Amino acid sequence: MINSLWLIPALPLAGATINAIFSRKLPRWLVSVIACGAVGASFVVSLLAFFAMQSTDEHHRVFNVSLFTWIPVADFKVDVAFLLDPLSALMLLVVTGVGFLIHVYSIGYMDAERDDGYGHFFTYLNLFIFSMLMLVLGSNYLLMYVGWELVGLCSYLLISFWFHKPEAASAGKKAFITTRVGDFGFGLGVLLIFTTFGTLDFADIFAHAKLIDQSLITIITLLLFAGAVGKSAQIPLYVWLPDAMEGPTPVSALIHAATMVTAGVYMVARSHALFELSPFSSEVVAWTGALTAIYTATIALVQMDLKRVLAYSTISQLGYMFVAVGIGAYGAGIFHLMTHAFFKALLFLGAGSVMHAMNGIIDMRQLGGLRAKMPRTYITFLAAALAIAGFPFFAGFFSKDEILASAFATGHTAIWVIGLITAGLTAFYIFRAFFLTFHTEPRWTTDDRRPLTEDDSHRSSVNGHRSVHPHESPAVMTIPLAILAVLSVIGGFAGMPKVMGANFLEHYFEPVFKPHDLHLAASTEWMLIGASVAAGLLGIALAYWFYIARPTIPVTLARRFSGIYNLLWHKYWIDEIYSWLFVDKGYRLAMFLWQVLDVKIIDGAANGLGRATAALSRVTRSWQSGYARAYALMMLIATVIVLGWLILR
């Protein structure tokens, strides 16, 4: 079975090829069957490979299947070779499994798309799965780079899928520019690895890493991490991800939440042998993750666009994963990657379902009260929200807890505190979004303002009317939701803390990562669990208080100095603290972070880079004056300079 590993990427590639060529001639149902079938079959093969791997002796669970020599260079060669070990196997399952569900969901979601757009969409989606699998399976940095570049390309194409929307076009451009900055670092890292080790093969590099000067390893790992920062949207290169929500929602779910953006985490985990040798780089990784986590969670507090809440949340959760791999808890990072893939994909698909029902409206100011209209979406969204909020025994609870416990155990108390606060913020913003969408008074019958975001402007331009008739999405969309909901509920049991039972995952990763023993007393561990549960519950409770129980708080506070103030002082003192903490100062801080730091500075730098290059381009083109004599003069000047240099040296 392991020899058939090549089938895993080959199947989606075949699907992409067939749909690229024939999708115009084929009926729609066949296009979708081919696309979903290819990914589904790939999932089945991955599953078989997984079991084949698990059935072998646990010390030999690393398989290197070399297909052929790809590029021979002087005295070494790069093979097209696939690496199957517990790390890549888990990633395979996540990518193909979640990918398959999202493919199925897309059948319903993209139904309104015109014919060739439909075919193109599935072609890109299959191509993306192929690229992601190459990234995951490659057994050397060059193949990983291949996948890395290709997923970026697919991401760029899919963000701009609705190209006629100017936001989509500029979002695509921004994603391109920002991730390129990171890719440059990654490319240099690979180049430096090549000069240092004379090979690009993972096994060879990791075997010899200990012989290399530590400062060199630090440079290499920092360069690699630069790539991860771009691809996985960390500070300061995260700006592209919120804008990437202009793409179709299944794309946001698949690429910009569940899989591609986690490539950076995977890459760092894959290169753990290098990162372990450089404590400095690891600290950089952990702190970047921690700061990103809390910073973007803060921004998520004040977003009104549901998808943008989820986008900032994704960045924040990716920050958690980098905290994990930065402090050496690689297994915990990958564990969170997996659970996050379940619940974040589910959140996005739920949001997509809402948009489907609401004619593309995604602004929460125009949602509300959808619970009764969309019960299946409601309940699955709730499961995902509980999971991400770290509600006990849901998937996110276990993975987030393991990361926080590891941070505490490794002495990163500050990071632990940040993580804990972020957990509270996370619970708050996700339930804020949940309540505003599904509970509260419906705001869509009375509000006639134009929707802020039109995911599918085809549909809304056709139905230019304002009255919406929310309805539950078809089964082809809700069944994937249900499956993901189940996974979001039970997915965490794979990595239970030791105090609650056996940690299957930790043992599972042993062939790849050193066992990461926390050395925590049971009581400490319980205390840590309690703290994170408390943070999560507090967040949920505050969201409930603010948006359900006391929806009039802001109004009341405005009348603080009227007569009612004295009367109700006793009752409202908690509101006072709350408002100070979360509404007044907190709100201002979040708005400041978003509108100044995010939009002006970091975003501005990304745009500025593009503008500067464009200006340079205009200058260089103005030299091309069209006058042959001017060209000849410049040639003469250059000649004199070249000769001068040669003579005077």
Task: Report the interface residues with other proteins, using CB under 8 A.
Answer: 20-21, 24, 68-74, 116, 120, 142, 145-146, 149-150, 153, 156-157, 160-164, 169, 172, 176-177, 180, 183-184, 187-188, 191-192, 194-195, 613-614, 616-618, 620-622, 624-640, 642-647, 649
Closest CA to 601 of 284, 297, 238: 238
Place of tokens 């900032």: 312
Residue 609 tokens read as 């880079």
> Of 581 and 614, which has the nearer Cβ to other proteins?
614
For 270, the token pair is 């894959």
The owner of tokens 């978003």 is: 594
If the CB atoms of residues 199 and 317 are measured against other proteins, the closer one turns out to be 199
- Which residue, 70 or 587, has its beta carbon nearer to other proteins? 70
Nearer to other proteins, 461 or 625 (CB): 625
Residue 324 CA to residue 327 CA, distance in Å, equals 5
Burial class (CB in 10 A: 0-12, 13-18, 19+), 10: middle
- For residues 324-333, b (16+ Cβ closer than 10 Å) or e, as one string? bbbbbbbbbb
In the complex, minimum distance from the CB of residue 284 to other proteins, in angstroms, rounded to a whole number? 21
Q: Which residue carries 């075997």 as its tokens?
A: 207
- Could you tell me the smallest distance in angstroms from the CB atom of residue 625 to other proteins? 6
Question: Between residues 50 and 70, which has the closer beta carbon with respect to other proteins?
Answer: 70
Q: Which is nearer to other proteins, 142 or 285 (CB)?
A: 142
- Judged by beta carbon, residue 77 or residue 514, the one nearer other proteins is 77
Token pair, residue 554, equals 């802001």
Token duo for residue 71:
């590029």
- The residues, ordered by sequence, that sit 6+ positions from 503 with a Cβ below 8 Å of its Cβ are 495, 496, 497
How many other CB atoms sit within 10 Å of the CB of residue 376? Answer: 18
Q: Are 95 and 132 contacting, i.e. CB atoms less than 8 angstroms apart?
A: yes
CB-wise, 561 or 623, nearer to other proteins?
623
Between 580 and 631, CB nearer to other proteins: 631
- Cβ proximity to other proteins, 566 vs 620, nearer residue: 620
- 59 or 621: whose CB is closer to other proteins? 621
Nearest approach in angstroms of CB 174 to other proteins is 12
C-alpha to C-alpha distance for 38 and 33, rounded to whole angstroms: 8
> Tell me, what amino acid is at 410?
T
Distances (CA, A) of 625 to 171, 628, 632: 34, 8, 12
Whether 69 and 79 have beta carbons less than 8 Å apart is answered as: yes
Q: CA distances (Å), 14 to each of 8, 18, 240, in order? A: 11, 6, 30
Smallest distance from the beta carbon of 273 to other proteins, in angstroms? 22
Q: Min. distance of Cβ 141 from other proteins in angstroms?
A: 12
User: Please, which residue, 570 or 621, has the CB nearer to other proteins?
Assistant: 621
Q: Which is nearer to other proteins, 401 or 456 (CB)?
A: 456
Q: How far is the CB of 24 from other proteins (least distance, A)?
A: 7
Give CA–CA dist 614/581, Å, rounded. 44
> How many angstroms separate the Cα of 70 from the Cα of each of 79, 114, 142, 271, 573?
5, 40, 10, 22, 70
Q: In whole angstroms, what is the distance from residue 189 CA to residue 227 CA?
A: 9
Virtual torsion, Cα 103, 109, 114, 119, nearest 10 deg? 0
H or E stretch at 431: helix 413-438
Q: Which is nearer to other proteins, 29 or 627 (CB)?
A: 627
Q: Residues 270, 330: contact at Cβ < 8 Å?
A: no
Amino acid sitting at position 429:
Y
CB of 166 to other proteins, least distance (A): 12
| 445-448: long-range pairs with CB below 8 Å, 24+ | 447/365, 447/366
CB of 544 to other proteins, least distance (A): 43
Structure tokens at 468: 């919406």
Closer by beta carbon to other proteins, 119 or else 333: 119
Q: Which helix (H) or strand (E) holds 76?
A: strand 76-84
Q: Which amino acid is at 589?
A: L
The most distant pair of C-alpha atoms in the chain lies apart, rounded to whole Å, by 93
Residue 331: what residue type?
G
Composition of the chain by helix, strand, coil, percent to 5: 75, 5, 20
Secondary element (H or E) of residue 83: strand 76-84
For the CB of residue 270, give the shortest distance to other proteins in the complex, in Å: 18
Minimum CB separation from other proteins for residue 183, in Å?
A: 6
Reading the block at residue 484, the tokens are: 């993901």
Beta carbon nearer to other proteins, 69 or 463: 69
Task: Round to whole Å and give the CA distance between 312 and 324.
Answer: 19
Nearer to other proteins, 168 or 299 (CB): 168
CB of 646 to other proteins, least distance (A): 5
CA distance 340 to 98: 11
Distance CA 201, CA 208 (A): 11
